[in-house]
Amino acid sequence: MKAIATTKAPAAIGPYSQGIEVNGFVFSSGQIPVNPETGEIPEGIEAQARQSCVNVGEILKAAGIGYEQVIKTTCFLADMADFGVFNQVYEEFFVSRPARSCVAVKELPKGVLCEVEAVAVKN
């Protein structure tokens, strides 16, 4: 196993890695919409979805791959009413349409509106 780390995505705030590479697969930890440069969280689901997707992309980039190698995502929403707007942003990044689960949860870290994690394969 190889830990993936980048300063271009939020640092892990617990006992975990930003990502792990093993046997040609890359697993990102869930990314909340924290701007890694400022530590700030943008307002609204559209901006938060965008930042979460960007953060996942930076972890993928640190592993030497991109969004097109993602085979599965798991998305968490604080409110399923945000599903439509979240999807509009999500599809800008995950154009290869990987398999996906998207669920509403009771609460997310730091009170954010969404979180995104990904599994990718190195070709």
Tokens representing residue 60 in the block:
């993928």
Catalytic, 102? Answer: yes
Structure tokens at 34: 């924290």
**Burial level of 46, CB count in 10 A (0-12/13-18/19+)?**
middle
| Residue reference for tokens 């046997």 | 23
- For residues 95 and 67, is the Cβ–Cβ distance under 8 A? yes
CA nearest to 52, candidates 21, 22, 73, 69:
73
Instruction: Supply angle C-alpha 42, 45, 47, rounded to 5.
Output: 45
Which residues are known catalytic residues? 102
